[in-house]
Amino acid sequence: MSLTVVGSIAFDAVRTPFGERERMLGGAAVHFSLAASFFTEVRPVGPVGEDFGGEHFELLEQRGILTEDIERVPGGKSFFWRGRYEYDLNLAHTEDTQLGVFAEFEPKLSPGSREADTLFLANIQPELQRQVRAQCAAGFSGLDSMNLWIESAKDSLQAAIAEVDCLVVNDAEIRQLTGESNLARAARKVMELGPRAVVAKQGEYGAALFTRESFFALPGFPLEDVRDPTGAGDSFAGGFFGYLDSIDGDLEEANLRRAMGYGTVLASFNVEEFGTERVSRLTREEIDERFEHLRGMTQFEGLTAASE
C-alpha cells in the first residue's frame, strides 16, 4: 500500500515557554509523512527552495519516505513559519508566514504518487487540493483545512471536501464551515457534502470521529511534559491515514477507531519535543506500547482488562 500527501514542507521558527528553535524542519506534509511512515510507504508532494538541503531529504528518507515528488525550485526559498505559544500552549500566535516557493506551486504528481492507494490533502489552498485530487486515483482520501480558507475560499473548499472520504479538521473549523455550533449536527452537515467520516481535532481534549452510524472519541494522551504543539494535528492525521492505508483503507468501524488511537499516539509523541525531534527517532515498538496504554486508559473495565 502507499500514501500520497500534499502540503507544506517548511522551516519553522518556534518559541514556547519550554524552549525555542530558530529554524527547524516542519510543515504539514513533513509532520504527516513522518507519522505515517511507521505504517506504510509515504510520498510527500510539494515544493522546497534551495535552502532545503541533503540533510533534510535524509531525515525523511531514513524513515523510508519517498522524496521524488519534493520539487526543489532553483533560486527559491522554502515556506517559512514563525510562531510562539503562551504558557497555556493552547494559545498560539503566528508572527510571520512566508510562502516562498509555495506561492507559485503547480502540483504535478509522479506516476508513483498518482497511483497511491490513499491520498491526504493537508492544509493548503483548496484549488490546489482539488488539482491534486484530480491527478490521484486513490480509493481513499482525506482533507485538512483551516479558517483562512473557510473565510476566503469557501466554495472551493466545499467542492474539495465533496471529493474526499474523510474530513480531518479542528472542531472550531467544522462549526465555522457549517455555521452550526452543535458539533454532532455540524459533522452531519459535512457528511451531507460527501465525506463518509469526519474527524474533529480538539487539541488537548483529543479527537472525535463521526460517521453516519457512529460516534467515537479519544482524549489526548495525558502528558506532563509538552514542549511544542506544532504539527500535532498533522501527526495525528499521519497516524490515522497511515494506519488506514496499511490495512487497505478498510473503513470498518473498529479500524477507524484503531486509526484514531494511532493518530492520538503519534500526536502525543510529536508534542513531547520540538518540531520533528521526537518522531524522527521514534520506534514502532514505542508506538504500539503507547497505543496499548491508551487503550487501557479508555476502557470502562479499567486497568486489569487493559493489561490482558
- How many Cα neighbours within 13 Å face the side chain of 103? 10
Cβ-contact 101, 78 below 8 angstroms:
yes
283 binds its own copies (CB under 8 A): no
Q: How far apart are CA 150 and CA 160, in angstroms?
A: 12
Nearer to its own copies by C-beta: 8 or 230? 230
Burial of 32 (0-12, 13-18, 19+ CB in 10 A): buried
301 binds its own copies (CB under 8 A): yes
Q: How far is the CB of 101 from its own copies (least distance, A)?
A: 37
How many Cβ atoms sit within 10 Å of the Cβ of residue 106? Answer: 8
Nearest to 182 by CA among 95, 23, 190: 190
For the record, the C-alpha cell of 83 comes out as 510562531
Q: How far is the CB of 41 from its own copies (least distance, A)?
A: 26
Burial of 202 (0-12, 13-18, 19+ CB in 10 A): middle
49 binds its own copies (CB under 8 A): no
Nearest to 245 by CA among 32, 25, 70: 32
Binding its own copies by CB under 8 A: which of 13, 217, 247, 251?
217
Nearer to its own copies by C-beta: 128 or 265? 265
How many Cβ atoms sit within 10 Å of the Cβ of residue 28? Answer: 29
For the record, the C-alpha cell of 168 comes out as 480531518
Q: How far apart are CA 181 and CA 73, in angstroms?
A: 43
Binding its own copies by CB under 8 A: which of 106, 111, 283, 304?
304
Nearest to 45 by CA among 128, 127, 103, 168: 128
Which of the stretches 28-36, 52-60, 132-140, 182-190 binds its own copies when contact is defined by CB under 8 A?
182-190
Nearer to its own copies by C-beta: 181 or 283? 181
Which of the stretches 128-136, 162-170, 206-214, 231-239 binds its own copies when contact is defined by CB under 8 A?
206-214
Site size with its own copies, rule: CB under 8 A:
44
Binding its own copies by CB under 8 A: which of 103, 134, 148, 223?
223
261 binds its own copies (CB under 8 A): yes
Binding its own copies by CB under 8 A: which of 87, 94, 285, 307?
87
127 binds its own copies (CB under 8 A): no
Q: How far apart are CA 244 and CA 265, in angstroms?
A: 15
Q: How far is the CB of 293 from its own copies (least distance, A)?
A: 9
191 binds its own copies (CB under 8 A): no
Which positions lie near its own copies, rule CB under 8 A?
87-89, 175, 181-185, 188, 202, 204-206, 208, 210, 213-217, 219, 222-226, 252-254, 256-258, 261, 295, 297-305
